[in-house]
């Protein structure tokens, strides 16, 4: 097959790619940092690149013969004259000759700031794998009829009463050398009192386990010392599958539309996990083992699609009605069967999933928050790339998942980006002047006056902030429409007559243009928050719950949003603001708890089956609730500008709360 | 590293080998058929090759500078002027330049005639893996909370009362597609009522299992249809480890003296088994699977060294005191962990071993013959490359292994060879004329007169025959010495004055020289049979057994020996000749039985631990018994020539029986 040379500037990455690969695939192959929020489906328009060399003619952009396939409809939609000449969507064109490209700052993905840290976990230590020290009588010619394994089994029975122990095959392979190296004193790791999964020479004090939370966007790993239950190290990374689709549905599509799509994504994740294992165990290497081999137990949570892809299960059936997973209960799999480089005889405990759209990560949240032990009526909102809701208390719990769209992650937002350096993460707007101040990731201070702070875009938490602030400062009304009466240089109209708000002037940014919040951005956020609100409202109706005692914001993203802004926007039904709080990455906390205590595994198994999954989207009231929830609720007389705005516009829409 | 061109004639095999490889290693690398009974240790002298090109000088064989390393002591011992010029031992010299060699007929290994066929097995069919057909209700949106696996588990519980079934991970991987391909009707294979190891679409009538007997020299595989218990196909091959040593100790040595020796031998065996699986399932391929995947269960037996090498366990500890195996009980290992290409979710059942020197093959003999259910006092002699003895009845059974040496296999015999085409396999000698008649493998008739029958050597069964016949025809006396009085052109003396008997004249052979039986050959056979006899005798003494009710000759080799000749030689203590019989490959029969009936697995486990292993070699009476057993017993007046011989020699040695 023909291969062509492809060069990406400014990184200078270069290499040969086969004819017919898209530029996005080429960038992925060459390790070039290129944004692709939609996973290469031509729907986000984020992967713009400029062709620097590789044209035959230069006359007319549409008829131009280049070393790329011709302009597509998708490109016509996204690429505007303002983007400059020779700009293409990397996902939409294929390589047909040698070519040199430039990736503009705006199209670079950047390294996500990972916000999944573990909080202190308080759970009794009762792990699946326990270590036992034994001293054996060395064999003699008079004690012939006992093999090495049988000698260990006999000693474990005598010293600890452990009977009918099986032994993992990999343990048997090393047994003879380990026994002799340890001079017949060994440390034996036993899984659930049933199976020997490791034998180490001599007395080994430390036992490590690892809990892993695979998010759609971010993967977090927590290394625990199992005797103390302490999280001794935390590592995280972008989910390497992001290159194949930013959201769950694009990855399912990738698996469906590529013969080896599933294998590729599975391998990317497993390679990534092995990298993380290598890093996280750098300080605990002993006995000449690779660090990962010191880890004798592992738990893992993820949403249902990631669960299936990790296990190599075709995710297509969970993507279409009736949304049936291959397996929903928890399962223990030998690490070596997965190619995960912990102790090869150990098991990976995969927590159960709830249903086609509510995954093991939500089960992690459930067992971490233990709402099934509470009297209070609690709503847990887990905002990752998907939105998942849990509602109830000890009497009953319902769960659902909401199609929030990716607005909270910065996608479908004109200047949206992930939480990476350069992203605006917090915003306030002066209600009198409509002048903003904002904070940029990577900069220590809030920005209040014109200076070069190299803002690049807006991440999810700031989108919530800015829309809430635009409302409270009267820039938009409760239906989300711009107030035409306000006289501010920051409120402008584009050539189609659509209003937008300038959050940062071009000279404050690193991208050389104004960072703005458009009418479309406001609408996208309204859709996202409306879906969450309507979902919660319908679950409350279904369960006969009239008011919430507590609202818990879970998920890495949940920890960083401003709860007042979220409440202003109406992301969730009314609740005393003091009873609204963030718990951080509760899914990861659940994985850690299940690692440290096998009772939590049983709890997860039972509660995942006990709770009721509600398919909100098929509820006949959903559309009505959703439409109503799109509005921004009027918080009585709290915000003077809003009051003025409402009076001025003479709105007839009934205020809901 | 330097590489040199090496050519082997007459096959013309050629290739490059790194400097420093021995010629034997080069032959193995290039797939050249070269005998190496001792495994390259320079002790059998069978791997003679002639250098055709590659000498610098030709003056003096000792000082000659060749493209090979200099002559060794081992070569000086084995290479005689009669071998011709420029002959070397392939295992003793290393390549130092381009070289061309000729492999004489005598040094070619040939393809062993495999004699391991299965007899009809009669055992109730109660296999470990059973198949269940189920029809599932397809999932709907109203039946959301059940995954595919849970749906199957529910159906198996409802239809067959199977509870708490686990599922193999590989099964889950294919579950979704299989269910939908079978339109929710599937055949489920369940292992021991505990674990789902396979799910097939639709109704599948046939179930296959395989039983494997790995001998030191020969590997036999028996494919069984599990519903009927019939052996539907048998395949066998040389054990591919033969290239690394013909006997157990040479392979243990190979594992010890080469860093990756164990891995190399394990891989050779597993690759070989996969080849056999491919062949034996050629006719049963269905569903687009490779044939091996139709096999859902497997049992395997072997001696302890092969057991360890197969499992990747270092065999060094079973080769030195106190001879401790890594594991002695039976074990079930996932086929995929072993790289054995049957259904990947299935288990390989490895039968238990008895002790460091008595393996799972002997346990196979035990459960096939069921001596623990008999009243008669039975001696079972399993003559493979090692000799193993079982003695006893329902009250008690002892086992031992005898260092017979490789004489029965044709090694340490001047013209000894394996049972391959060209080998003399049966011999009779006329007691009046001392003229022999013999039968050659690959020729239909006995040879009685001078014609070119292309005899090449003598295999084990014929060595027993010929020595027994030499005794009964008076050529040797009961101490094994040649009768100097006989006047026959076939009885000759070599230049050292040692007698030998010409079995075939040069012009009847394919090797252009007389095939002879030397005094040394007779001694080697006496040592081998003496070890067996002494072992049996000592076990009888130990157990207080005065006479045997039955003698069973097991093992492929056992089936082909002439029981009268064996009794004449005194291979085993006296027994009514009608109560001496061969059972063929009883180890393989035991493996088949354990495949078809799980009770036999339990029997194997219990009886392997119940019987007593006796280390014969450390018995203080062993040496005395062994010396006495070396003699050929005088069978009263049965053989007139012997009578004459005894009278003539005036022997004072007491006749034992």
What average pLDDT is seen over chain A?
85
Q: What mean pLDDT do residues A542-567 have?
A: 87
Q: What is the dihedral of CA A484, A489, A490, A495, to 10 degrees?
A: 70
A137 interfacial to chain B (CB closer than 8 Å): no
Quote the CA–CA distance of A207 and A192 in Å, as a whole number. Answer: 15
Nearest CA in chain A to B320: A141
A313 interfacial to chain B (CB closer than 8 Å): yes
CA triplet A489, A495, A496: central angle to 5 degrees? Answer: 115
Give the minimum alpha-carbon distance from A336 to chain B in angstroms, rounded to a whole number.
Answer: 9
**Per-residue pLDDT tens over the stretch A62-112:** 444 578 888 888 888 888 887 888 899 998 889 988 888 888 877 876 654
- Pull the structure tokens for residue B532: 């067996």
- Residue A389 pLDDT > 70: yes
- Please give the pLDDT value at position A434: 92
Write out A242-305 in H/E/C secondary structure: HHHCCCHHHHHHHHHHCCCHHHHHHHHHHHHHHHHHHHHCCCCCCCCCCHHHHEEEEEEEECHH
DSSP 3-state assignment of A423? strand
DSSP 3-state assignment of A79? coil
- Pull the structure tokens for residue A429: 């707007």
For residue B150, give the nearest of A149, A317, A329 by CB distance: A329
Whole-model pTM: value is: 0.77
**C-beta atoms surrounding A434 within 10 Å:** 22
**Per-residue pLDDT tens over the stretch B323-351:** 889 999 999 999 999 999 999 999 999 99
Judged by CB atoms closer than 8 Å, whether chains meet at A172 and B327 is answered as yes
Positive or negative, the CA dihedral B336, B342, B346, B350 is negative
Decide if B45 contacts B56 (C-beta within 8 A).
Answer: no
For residue B325, give the nearest of A147, A180, A322 by CB distance: A147
Least confident of A298-312, A635-649, B246-260: A635-649
For chains A and B, count residue pairs whose Cβ atoms are closer than 8 Å: 138
Closest Cα partner for A303 from A350, A371, A373? A350
Residue A99: asked if its preceding bond is cis (omega within 30°), the reply is: no
Nearest CA in chain A to B166: A331
- Residue B651 pLDDT > 70: no
DSSP 3-state assignment of A596? helix
Task: Look at strands A387-393 and A396-402 and give their pairing.
Answer: antiparallel
Nearest CA in chain B to A321: B141
Decide if A556 contacts A585 (C-beta within 8 A).
Answer: yes
Task: Look at strands A580-584 and A550-554 and give their pairing.
Answer: parallel
- pLDDT classification of B646: cutoffs 50, 70, 90: very low
Going along B291-337, which residue ranges are E strands?
295-302, 331-334
Quote the CA–CA distance of B634 and B656 in Å, as a whole number. Answer: 8
Quote the CA–CA distance of B612 and A221 in Å, as a whole number. Answer: 53
- Please give the pLDDT value at position A224: 93
Least confident of A367-376, B69-78, B203-212: B69-78
- pLDDT classification of B308: cutoffs 50, 70, 90: very high
**Per-residue pLDDT tens over the stretch A401-411:** 887 777 787 77
B172 interfacial to chain A (CB closer than 8 Å): yes
Quote the CA–CA distance of A571 and A100 in Å, as a whole number. Answer: 45
Q: Which residue has the tokens 């230049």?
A: B495
Quote the CA–CA distance of B433 and B425 in Å, as a whole number. Answer: 21
DSSP state, residue A358: B
Partner B, chain A 348-377, Cβ-Cβ below 8 Å = 353-356
Write out A195-213 in H/E/C secondary structure: EEEEEEECCCCCCEEEEEE
For residue A326, give the nearest of B143, B175, B314 by CB distance: B175
Judged by CB atoms closer than 8 Å, whether chains meet at A337 and B169 is answered as yes
Task: Look at strands B99-102 and B3-9 and give their pairing.
Answer: parallel
Give the minimum alpha-carbon distance from B285 to chain A in angstroms, rounded to a whole number.
Answer: 25
- Identify how many contiguous H helices and E strands chain B contains and give both numbers: 17, 28
What are the distances in angstroms from CA A147 to CA A139, A151, B308, B309, B397?
Answer: 9, 6, 12, 16, 20
Judged by CB atoms closer than 8 Å, whether chains meet at A322 and B615 is answered as no
Quote the CA–CA distance of B489 and B380 in Å, as a whole number. Answer: 40
Judged by CB atoms closer than 8 Å, whether chains meet at A337 and B336 is answered as yes
Q: Helices B598-610 and B360-369 sit at what angle, rounded to 10 degrees?
A: 110
Quote the CA–CA distance of A349 and A601 in Å, as a whole number. Answer: 9
For residue B333, give the nearest of A150, A169, A321 by CB distance: A169
Going along B120-249, which residue ranges are E strands?
129-135, 166-167, 185-191, 195-201, 208-214, 218-225, 230-238
Q: What is the interface pTM, i.e. ipTM, of the complex?
A: 0.75
Quote the CA–CA distance of B243 and B90 in Å, as a whole number. Answer: 13
Positive or negative, the CA dihedral B429, B430, B434, B440 is negative
Judged by CB atoms closer than 8 Å, whether chains meet at A327 and B143 is answered as no
Quote the CA–CA distance of B601 and B591 in Å, as a whole number. Answer: 9
DSSP 3-state assignment of A355? strand
For residue B326, give the nearest of A145, A149, A325 by CB distance: A149
Judged by CB atoms closer than 8 Å, whether chains meet at B322 and A140 is answered as yes
**Per-residue pLDDT tens over the stretch B131-185:** 999 999 888 777 665 899 999 999 999 999 999 999 999 999 989 999 999 999 9
Judged by CB atoms closer than 8 Å, whether chains meet at A172 and B313 is answered as yes
Give the minimum alpha-carbon distance from A444 to chain B in angstroms, rounded to a whole number.
Answer: 48
Q: Helices A622-629 and A519-543 sit at what angle, rounded to 10 degrees?
A: 130
**For the residues of B585-600, what is the DSSP string, one character each?**
-HHHHHHHHHHHBHHH
Decide if A483 contacts A650 (C-beta within 8 A).
Answer: no
**For the residues of A119-137, what is the DSSP string, one character each?**
PPP----B-SEEEEEEEPP
Positive or negative, the CA dihedral A193, A198, A202, A207 is negative
Judged by CB atoms closer than 8 Å, whether chains meet at A326 and B147 is answered as yes
Decide if A255 contacts A314 (C-beta within 8 A).
Answer: yes
Partner A, chain B 230-269, Cβ-Cβ below 8 Å = none
Per the DSSP assignment, residues forming a β-bridge with A350 are A300, A331
Give the minimum alpha-carbon distance from A329 to chain B in angstroms, rounded to a whole number.
Answer: 8
Quote the CA–CA distance of A299 and A276 in Å, as a whole number. Answer: 15
Least confident of A315-329, A492-506, B411-425, B482-496: B411-425
Give the minimum alpha-carbon distance from B520 to chain A in angstroms, rounded to a whole number.
Answer: 34
Judged by CB atoms closer than 8 Å, whether chains meet at B324 and A148 is answered as yes
- Please give the pLDDT value at position A319: 81
Partner A, chain B 615-654, Cβ-Cβ below 8 Å = 615, 618
Judged by CB atoms closer than 8 Å, whether chains meet at A327 and B167 is answered as yes
For residue A147, give the nearest of B314, B324, B615 by CB distance: B324
How many C-alpha atoms does B559 have within 13 Å on its Cβ side? 14
**Distance from chain centroid for Cα A641:** 37
Closest Cα partner for A297 from A159, A185, A54, A129? A129
Quote the CA–CA distance of B26 and B54 in Å, as a whole number. Answer: 15
B605 interfacial to chain A (CB closer than 8 Å): no
Judged by CB atoms closer than 8 Å, whether chains meet at B326 and A175 is answered as yes
For residue A328, give the nearest of B147, B324, B613 by CB distance: B147
Task: Look at strands B185-191 and B129-135 and give their pairing.
Answer: antiparallel
**Per-residue pLDDT tens over the stretch B39-90:** 677 777 888 898 887 764 444 444 445 788 888 888 888 888 888 888 999 9
How many C-alpha atoms does A619 have within 13 Å on its Cβ side? 24
Quote the CA–CA distance of A216 and B64 in Å, as a whole number. Answer: 74
Give the minimum alpha-carbon distance from B206 to chain A in angstroms, rounded to a whole number.
Answer: 26
Give the minimum alpha-carbon distance from B557 to chain A in angstroms, rounded to a whole number.
Answer: 28
Nearest CA in chain B to A320: B141
CA triplet A125, A126, A128: central angle to 5 degrees? Answer: 130
Torsions phi, psi of A331, nearest 5? -150, 145
Quote the CA–CA distance of A484 and B153 in Å, as a whole number. Answer: 63
A312 interfacial to chain B (CB closer than 8 Å): yes
Decide if A435 contacts A478 (C-beta within 8 A).
Answer: no
Q: Helices A169-181 and B304-311 sit at what angle, rounded to 10 degrees?
A: 110
What are the distances in angstroms from CA B445 to CA B305, B424, B425, B467?
Answer: 39, 12, 12, 21
**C-beta atoms surrounding B649 within 10 Å:** 16
Decide if A360 contacts A214 (C-beta within 8 A).
Answer: no
Give the minimum alpha-carbon distance from A253 to chain B in angstroms, rounded to a whole number.
Answer: 17
Sheet (strand A347-350) strand order: A230-238, A218-225, A208-214, A295-302, A347-350, A331-334
Q: What mean pLDDT do residues B123-136 have?
A: 92
**Per-residue pLDDT tens over the stretch A53-63:** 776 444 444 44
- Residue B460 pLDDT > 70: yes
């Amino acid at each position: 097959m023909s291969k062509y040379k492809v060069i990406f500037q400014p990184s200078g990455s270069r290499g040969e790619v086969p004819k017919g690969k898209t530029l996005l695939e080429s960038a992925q192959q060459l390790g070039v940092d290129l944004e692709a929020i939609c996973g290469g489906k031509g729907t986000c328009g984020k992967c713009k690149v400029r062709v620097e060399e590789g044209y035959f003619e230069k006359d007319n952009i549409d008829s131009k013969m280049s070393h790329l396939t011709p302009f597509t409809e998708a490109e016509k939609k996204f690429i505007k004259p303002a983007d400059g000449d020779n700009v293409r969507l990397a996902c939409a064109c294929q390589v047909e000759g040698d070519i040199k490209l430039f990736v503009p700052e705006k199209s670079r993905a950047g390294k996500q700031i990972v916000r999944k840290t573990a909080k202190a976990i308080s759970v009794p230590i009762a792990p699946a794998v326990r270590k036992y020290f034994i001293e054996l009588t060395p064999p003699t010619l008079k004690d012939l009829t006992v093999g090495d394994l049988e000698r260990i089994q006999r000693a474990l029975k005598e010293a600890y009463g452990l009977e009918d122990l099986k032994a993992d095959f990999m343990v048997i392979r090393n047994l003879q050398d380990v026994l002799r190296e340890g001079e017949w004193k060994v440390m034996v790791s036993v899984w659930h009192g049933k199976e020997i999964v490791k034998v180490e020479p001599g007395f080994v004090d430390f036992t490590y386990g690892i809990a892993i939370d695979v998010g759609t966007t971010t993967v977090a790993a927590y290394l625990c010392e199992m005797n103390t239950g302490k999280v001794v190290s935390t590592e995280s990374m972008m989910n390497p599958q992001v290159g194949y689709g930013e959201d769950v549905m694009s990855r399912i599509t990738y698996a469906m539309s590529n013969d080896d799509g599933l294998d590729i994504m599975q391998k990317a994740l497993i390679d990534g996990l092995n990298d993380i294992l290598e890093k996280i165990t750098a300080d605990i290497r002993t006995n000449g083992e690779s660090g990962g081999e010191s880890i004798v137990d592992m738990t893992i949570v993820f949403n249902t699609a990631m669960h299936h892809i990790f296990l190599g299960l075709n995710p297509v059936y969970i993507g279409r009605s009736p949304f049936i997973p291959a397996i929903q209960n928890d399962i223990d799999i030998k690490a070596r069967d997965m190619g995960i480089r912990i102790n090869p005889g150990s098991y990976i405990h995969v927590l159960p999933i709830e249903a086609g759209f509510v995954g093991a990560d939500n089960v992690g949240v459930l067992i971490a928050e233990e709402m099934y032990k509470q009297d209070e009526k609690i709503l847990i909102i887990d905002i990752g790339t998907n939105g998942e809701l849990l509602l109830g208390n000890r009497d009953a719990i319902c769960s659902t998942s909401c199609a929030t769209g990716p607005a909270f992650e910065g996608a479908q937002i004109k200047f949206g980006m992930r939480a990476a350096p350069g992203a605006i993460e917090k915003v306030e707007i002066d209600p009198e002047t409509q002048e903003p101040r904002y904070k940029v990731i990577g900069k220590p201070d809030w920005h209040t006056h014109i200076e070069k702070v190299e803002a690049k875009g807006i991440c999810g938490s700031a989108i919530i902030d800015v829309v809430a602030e635009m409302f409270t400062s009267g820039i938009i009304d409760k239906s989300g429409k711009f107030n035409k009466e306000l006289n501010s240089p920051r409120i402008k109209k584009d050539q189609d007559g659509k209003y937008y708000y300038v959050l940062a002037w071009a000279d404050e940014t690193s991208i050389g243009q104004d960072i703005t919040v458009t009418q479309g951005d406001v609408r996208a956020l309204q859709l996202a928050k409306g879906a969450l609100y309507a979902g919660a409202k319908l679950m409350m109706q279904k369960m006969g719950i009239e008011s919430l005692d507590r609202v818990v914001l879970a998920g890495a993203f949940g920890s960083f949003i401003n709860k007042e802004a979220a409440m202003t926007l109406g992301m969730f039904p009314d609740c005393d603001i003091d009873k609204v709080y963030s718990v951080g990455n509760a899914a990861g906390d659940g994985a850690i708890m299940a690692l440290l205590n096998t009772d939590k595994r049983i709890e997860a198994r039972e509660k995942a089956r006990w709770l009721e999954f509600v398919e909100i989207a098929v509820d006949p009231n959903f559309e009505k609730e959703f439409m109503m929830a799109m509005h921004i609720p009027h918080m009585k007389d709290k915000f003077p500008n809003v009051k003025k705005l409402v009076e001025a516009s003479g709105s007839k829409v009934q205020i809901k709360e």
